[in-house]
Structures are given as structure tokens and as C-alpha cells.
Amino acid sequence: MKYPTVRNYVAGQFVDGDEPRSLDVFSPLSGAVISTVPLSGAAALDKAVAAAKAAFPAWSAIPIKERVQVFYRYKTLLEKHIQELTQLVHDENGKTMDEARAEVEKAIELTEFACSLPQLVSGELLEVSKGVECRAERKPLGVVASIAPFNFPNMVPHWTIPNAIALGNCMILKPSEQVPVSATRIAELLQEAGLPDGVFNVVNGDKEIVEAICDHPDIQAVSFVGSTKIAKVVYRRATSNLKRCVALGGAKNHLLVLPDAHTEMTASNVAASMSGCAGQRCMAGSAMVAVGSVDHIIDKLVEEARKIVPGQNLGSVISREAKDRIERYITEAEAAGAKVLLDGRHAVVAGQEAGYYVGPTVVDYVTPDMAIAREEVFGPVLAIIRTKTLDEALAIENASNYGNAAAVFTQSGAHARYVMEHASAGMIGVNIGVPVPREPFSFGGWNESKFGTADITGKSSIEFWTQIKKVTTKWNPESRVNWMS
Ligand code: NAD
């Protein structure tokens, strides 16, 4: 599969930049070059911001009930083109077709939520003293930016596009340079849905354009999703330029498995959590904390994981470097005394020998100090850490510098409640290995998995994408004047 050269999208047009730098885009499934992406700089960003700024007065003046009509039409277009959008994600990211389809389905749900925003932002009004009314209205911020990672080329841009734009903002999207192709189709479909030119723009690039976004004086807010290392850089730089910023980072999610957990349900859930999207999910359960005697569950889990086969129901990882990094974690843990129960190193898929595959891997007797236990591996690898008590397990979870998700597997309501209370993570699962909150609930972690106050989706994102205007009015001259009127 070959796709045309990726171009920036500015003021409703696909434009060639004058960028001196570009990058080949590889399909991780086969290692083949499928496109090229320009690495834009500050000049390209200036044009996109100017387009967004010009579009803002008219777009923000349209009542929200009318603005969301674009997203009703857009949702229908996403549904109509789901197969093609799925194929795109599969080709550029390497996840399976089923996983790619699920990602587009989630994008549809996110769009659906944006259509409900008029119901959620109706404002407030109160007669605060005789004849005097205060009202509070939510207003958009202006030009905003959204910076995306490689692991969800379609879904993560939809964490921000529908809500930010439906709420009246104009947006600059900066896709991951590793998976920039899906964004082209997103732009085309938004245009077909009737979004006015300039309301949505795409600039492609790497570090240089991200820094330019953080520095641009006409960008009011920046949302970022990616690794913790870069989330910190972006959050610091954007906020030091006095912008709003929400920056989601990496994760190390702990799955606490108790002896009374349902064997089959736990085993299949844990196997799916660690290996789904080849482990390249910020919600992947990558550390299982085995509390007490759970060997029967581990045996079943390994049996389940064996059914996950690269090239069949397991996609590729994003790059050769990612494959090498993941395999290095396994090798180092083994050298430090951990026991590899299922080994996915050196996986090769027939006919796709140059693709970047790692098979499902289960490593037992990992100790909390090992890198595989502490760091984000971002591959289909489960590190099992053994503890005697639930408190010890929680201490390990609490010690992580991340805090995206944590889950407990048990049939005891009391133990589940205890973990809900004491886990230090923003999203908690009970007998659910990937506890992604669905709309209208919001998505966002704690600790170094998120910087900034609002979550990135759901009701919480309304705070992020709007500011409140408070208006106090009095029309009746016969009302007496008091201290506040
Ligand atoms: P990344 O941090 O390498 O890249 C993310 C974005 O930052 C990309 O658009 C990239 O171009 C840009 N970037 C890269 N290096 C930069 C630099 N030095 N300065 C400025 N910008 C830079 O992340 P990735 O590898 O694309 O994505 C995987 C990571 O994203 C994982 O850590 C994963 O956990 C995380 N992630 C988190 C969530 C969440 O909700 N918390 C969701 C998805 C992915």
C-alpha cells in the first residue's frame, strides 16, 4: 500500500510547504515506505495560525446548536468510510484490522459526545438581588492546538477535535510524524461535513513545530498526548508562555490479581490488556501484581497469551527501534533473574519478514526494582511481580511515578473497594483490564501520566476548551440601588 505524500492542510487547502526537511513514513507491518511527511517549521505554523485566527470570529459567532450540526454530518461520514479509515490506521500504525476498527468506532463515539455539548453548556442565570441578574456563559478560547502520538492515529486526534471545535475554537492539529496519513482523511471528511475553511488545520512535523506551537503568541491552549518526557517539555514550555496546557504522558499500569479472582475471566482480561495494540496503549496493563497463591491464574494466562499470534491477532510494534527496546527490557530482566514464561523475542511473520513484530511475552518473578517493572515498555510484555499481601501490592502501585490506570481482579467487594480507594491512578478497573472511561466520563490519569488540571475528553474537557464570561444586568430603574448594583 502506498499513499500520496502528506501535505499540510491550511484554510481548507492541502498545501506544499517550503520545508527543507521531510521523513519517510514506514508501515510497521512490512517495513515498507508508504508515504513521506514534511517536517514543517515556524513559517508553516504561522500560515495555519493566521487561517485559524481569521476563521475564529465567524465560527465562534455561530450558535453551538448550529455548530454541532457539522459533527452530526461528520459522524455519518466516519461511519460511511469506516472500512477505509480502519485500513489506513492498520497500514500506518500496524495494529490489527479489528483494533484499528475499534479505534475508529471510538472516534465516532467521541464525535457523538460533541453533538451533545449544547445540552451540557447551557450556562447559569440567577437573580442575585432585586432586578439584578448574573449569567455565566461559556466562551471559546480562540486558536488552540492539539499534538498527537503515534499509537492512535485516528482516535487520539478525536479526543480533541470535536469538542474543541464544537465549543467554538479553531484548531491546529499536529499529528505524529510516524503516522501522519490518517489526519489527511480526517481533514477531508470535516470539510465534506461542512466545516468552514480555516476552522481546522493540520501542520506536520516533529520537535521543531511542537516548540513553535508552544511559543506561538496567537495560540491560546495546547493539548498534548505522548510520552511523559515530552509531556513535561511541552507543559513547561506552553505554560511558561502563559497558555493553557493539558499534557498526557506515559504509563505503567498495574493489574492486581487476588487468589479469589475468577480464573478464566482474569486470565483472558490480563492477556488482552497487555497485548492489545501490541501493548502500545497508555492503558495497557504491563505489570501484574500477583497477590498470594495465584499460580492457577498465571498458568491460564500463559495459555491465553499463547493464542495471541503475531501477524494474526497481534499487530506489529511501531518501529525497529521500538522492537529492539522492548526485547532489551526482556533480556535485561531475564539476566537479572526473572523467568520468561512466554518469549516473544525475535518474532517473524511469514511474508512480512521486514515487519516489526514482538510476540506476547510473560515474565515472572520480576522484582520492583527492575526496569521492566518500573518503566513503560510499550510492547506486548507482562511483568509479573509476586507479593504476599494486598497492601504490599498497593505499595508497589503507589510507588510508580505514573498513574494512568490500575485494576484489581477479585470477587471480593471489600478488596475491590480497598483498591478503588488506595490505588494512585486516575482510571481504576474492577475485573476490567483496560478501564477506559466511556463518554460522558472523561479520560485522564494522575501523577506523571497527566500535567494540567482538566481531563482531555468528556465533560471535564469543557473546562479546558472554554472560558466563562459573567454578565450582570439590571433593566428596571425602579429597583433600588444597593452596594452591588
Ligand atoms: P512522543 O512523546 O515521542 O511523541 C508525541 C508527540 O510529541 C509527537 O507528535 C512528536 O512529534 C512530538 N515530539 C517528539 N519528540 C519531541 C520533542 N523532543 N520535543 C517536542 N515534541 C516532540 O510519544 P509517542 O512515542 O508518539 O507515543 C507514545 C507515548 O504516548 C507513550 O508514552 C504512551 O503512553 C503515550 N500516550 C499516552 C496517552 C495518555 O492518555 N496518557 C495516550 C496515548 C499515548
pLDDT recorded at residue 483: 66
The one catalytic residue in 214, 245, 277, 282 is 282
> 264: CA distance to ligand 1 center in Å?
34
Cα separations in angstroms, 57 against 41, 53, 54, 386: 26, 8, 7, 58
pLDDT value at position 291?
Answer: 98
* Mean per-residue pLDDT, 404-421: 98
Residue 123: pLDDT band with limits 50, 70, 90: confident
Ligand 1 in reach of 376 Cβ (< 6 A):
yes
CA of 190 to the centre of ligand 1 (A): 25
Q: List all residues 6 or more positions away from 80 whose beta carbon is below 8 Å from its beta carbon.
A: none
Look at residues 417, 411, 404, 445 and name the one whose alpha carbon lies nearest to residue 431: 411
pLDDT value at 451 more than 60: yes
**E strand or H helix at 413:** helix 413-422
28-82 pLDDT per residue, tens = 999 999 999 999 999 999 999 999 999 999 999 999 999 999 999 999 999 999 9
> Does the Cβ of 148 fall within 6 Å of ligand 1?
yes
Determine phi and psi for 288, rounding to 5 degrees: -100, 125
pLDDT tens across 209-266, in order?
Answer: 999 999 999 999 999 999 999 999 999 999 999 999 999 999 999 999 999 999 999 9
In the reported structure, the alpha carbon of residue 81 is separated from the centroid of ligand 1 by a whole-number distance in angstroms of 27
Tell me which residue has its CA closest to atom 18 in ligand 1: 207
- What confidence category does residue 476 fall into, taking pLDDT thresholds of 50, 70 and 90? confident
The mean pLDDT value of the chain amounts to: 97
Q: How far is the CA of 143 from the centre of ligand 1 (A)?
A: 22
Specify the residue for cell string 475528553: 457
- 189-225: pLDDT as tens digits: 999 999 999 999 999 999 999 999 999 999 999 999 9
**Domains, the chain, ordered by start:** 8-250+445-470 (3.40.605.10), 253-430 (3.40.309.10)
Cβ(230) – ligand 1 distance below 6 Å: yes
Could you tell me where the beta strands, DSSP code E, fall in 155-252? 170-174, 200-202, 221-225, 244-248
pLDDT tens, position by position, 369-412: 999 999 999 999 999 999 999 999 999 999 999 999 999 999 99
* Helix ranges (DSSP H) in 307-346: 320-335
Picking from 409, 459, 467, the residue whose alpha carbon sits closest to that of residue 435 is: 409
The reply to whether ligand 1 has any atom less than 6 angstroms from the CB of 439 is: no
Q: What pLDDT, on a 0 to 100 scale, did the predictor assign at position 484?
A: 61
d(CA 122, CA 84): 37
The fraction of the chain above a pLDDT of 70, given in percent, is 99
- Asked if the model's pLDDT at residue 485 lies above 80, the reply is no
Supply the residue whose CA is at minimum distance from atom 26 of ligand 1: 149
CB neighbours of residue 310 within 10 Å:
22
The Å distance, Cα 227 to ligand 1 centre, comes to: 4
Is the distance from the beta carbon of residue 34 to the nearest atom of ligand 1 less than 6 Å? Answer: no
Q: CA geometry: angle at 210 spanning 207 and 215, to 5°?
A: 125
For residue 286 and ligand 1, the question of a CB distance below 6 A is answered with no
Ligand 1 pocket check: which of 6, 22, 23, 150 to mutate, most ligand atoms within 8 Å of Cβ?
Answer: 150
Whose alpha carbon is nearest atom 11 of ligand 1?
A: 206
271 phi and psi angles, rounded to 5 deg: -60, -40
Question: Terminal CA-to-CA distance of the chain, rounded, Å?
Answer: 68
Known active-site residue 170: no
The CB of 304 under 6 Å from ligand 1? The reply is no
Percentage above 90 pLDDT, the chain: 95
Is 278 within 8 Å of 94 (Cβ atoms)?
yes
Closest ligand 1 atom to residue 205 Cα is 11
Return the number of other C-beta atoms located less than 10 Å from residue 196's C-beta. Answer: 17
Ligand 1 center–CA 226 separation, angstroms: 2
